[in-house]
Amino acid sequence: MILVTGAAGFIGSVVVAGLNEEGEDDLLLADHLGTSTKWRNLLGKRFREYVDHAALLERIDRGDFARTKIEAVVHIGARTDTTEPDADLLLRLNYHYSQRLCRFALQKGARFVYASSAAVYGDGSLGFSDDDALTPKLRPLNAYGLSKWLFDCWVLREKLASKVVGLRFFNVYGPNEYHKGRMASVVWHAYPLAKEEGCVRLFASDRRDVGDGEQKRDFVYVKDASAVVRHFVRKKTGGGIFNVGSGRARTFRDLGAALLRACGRSADGIQYVAMPDDLKGRYQYFTEADLSRLRASGFKAKTTSIEDGVTEYVKGHLGRPDPYL
């Protein structure tokens, strides 16, 4: 059996779909559905059981899985709001919860693959290498990044990097993110206006050395991210912390133009709006994943360009009545 947390969320649900496509349906899914619409991400998926994320720890503590053979624990679940002001909440959900689940996986002899984040790199002034020697020096820009960085540091401090796999996801976009609200990708937010009016609105730059629309991120299609997760589930030995991105920074202007073209509109329809005050000083102006360590692990699949990824997302999902994967 494979345990997947965050299984009704964005990346987690696409991982579940990928496992199903590979013939794997002996899955225990954990998440917290609440009042959001992410329950729809479970539709059409094959799995043994679903459990609330809090009840999962209770069942672990009771010993409910003492006789269950667990092959892997894929820990994607987290509080992912980069503007969340409650640092204690983020540490409880993203740091302490992860510690307990990691210990459980190791006790079961199960593969532990967890989601870290490119948010650990902060403003990028120290670069984007996933070399372990750099990790303790990193300075995240927000409490969310702190919570992810602390767990990475714990993995290294406890000398677990050879036994577990951490994945630092860069800017992921694609199907099944519809419930994420403000944290959904620019593509999701911009699509309705791009389709109806041929316009995309992006944040203006608040730095003199960066032009409007010239902010750069490493945009990675969610299906590529899922492929990396499944690569490490199948790869049963070795570990480490790995970047997961396209390996190439692209501008938000490029992304907006790709979206407009996918909608059959002119790529000139880009406008700029002021950056919200709560993002100023906490906004990453450049990210680019160094994929050398990931490639050395044996992951050879080609990454999807934003032109191809956005086109598939628009025509295969956003433009359909039922957009879910």
The pLDDT mean for the chain works out to 97
CA 148 to chain centre: 12
For residues 278 and 190, the model is more confident at: 190
pLDDT given at position 252 = 98
Q: Please state, as a whole number, how many other Cβ atoms lie within 10 Å of the Cβ of residue 187.
A: 24
Strand ranges in 159-297 using DSSP code E only, listed in sequence order: 164-169, 171-173, 200-203, 216-217, 219-221, 240-244, 250-251, 270-273
Give the model's confidence band at 279: pLDDT under 50 very low, under 70 low, under 90 confident, else very high: confident
Residue (of 236, 145, 178) closest to 14 by Cα position: 178
List, for residues 192-242, the tens digit of each pLDDT value: 999 999 999 999 999 999 999 999 999 999 999 999 999 999 998 899 999
Return the active site residues: 144, 180
Q: Is 119 a residue whose pLDDT tops 90?
A: yes
Lowest-confidence pick of 187-191, 261-265, 279-283: 279-283
Share of the chain above pLDDT 90, in %: 96
Q: Is 301 a residue whose pLDDT tops 90?
A: yes
Identify the burial level of 163 via C-beta atoms within 10 angstroms of its C-beta, where 0-12 means exposed, 13-18 middle and 19 or more buried: middle
pLDDT given at position 137 = 98
Give the model's confidence band at 312: pLDDT under 50 very low, under 70 low, under 90 confident, else very high: very high
Identify the burial level of 42 via C-beta atoms within 10 angstroms of its C-beta, where 0-12 means exposed, 13-18 middle and 19 or more buried: middle
Task: Encode 32-90 in three state secondary structure.
Answer: CCCCCCHHHHHCCCCCCEEEEHHHHHHHHHHCCCCCCCCCEEEECCCCCCCCCCCHHHH
Q: Is 282 a residue whose pLDDT tops 90?
A: no
List, for residues 16-44, the tens digit of each pLDDT value: 999 999 999 999 999 999 999 999 999 99
Q: What would the two tokens of residue 162 be? A: 């050879």
Q: How far apart are CA 270 and CA 5, in angstroms?
A: 38
pLDDT given at position 283 = 87
Rounded to an integer, the average pLDDT of 80-92 is 96
Q: Is 147 a residue whose pLDDT tops 90?
A: yes
Q: Is 100 a residue whose pLDDT tops 90?
A: yes
Rounded to an integer, the average pLDDT of 307-315 is 98
Beta-strand relationship, 72-75 and 2-5: parallel
Strand ranges in the chain using DSSP code E only, listed in sequence order: 2-5, 27-31, 49-52, 72-75, 111-117, 164-169, 171-173, 200-203, 216-217, 219-221, 240-244, 250-251, 270-273
Sign of the C-alpha dihedral computed for residues 38, 41, 42 and 44 taken in this order: positive
HSE at residue 165, side-chain half, CA atoms within 13 A, is 29
Locate tokens 């991105």: which residue?
245
pLDDT given at position 249 = 98
89 in Cβ contact with 129 (< 8 Å):
no
Sign of the C-alpha dihedral computed for residues 244, 250, 254 and 256 taken in this order: positive
Q: What would the two tokens of residue 180 be? A: 């994420």
Q: Please state, as a whole number, how many other Cβ atoms lie within 10 Å of the Cβ of residue 66.
A: 8
Q: How far apart are CA 216 and CA 42, in angstroms?
A: 33
Angle formed at CA 219 by CA 217 and CA 268, multiple of 5 degrees: 80
Share of the chain above pLDDT 70, in %: 100
Query: Domains (ranges, CATH) in the chain?
Result: 2-174+220-247+288-304 (3.40.50.720)
pLDDT given at position 281 = 81
pLDDT given at position 204 = 95
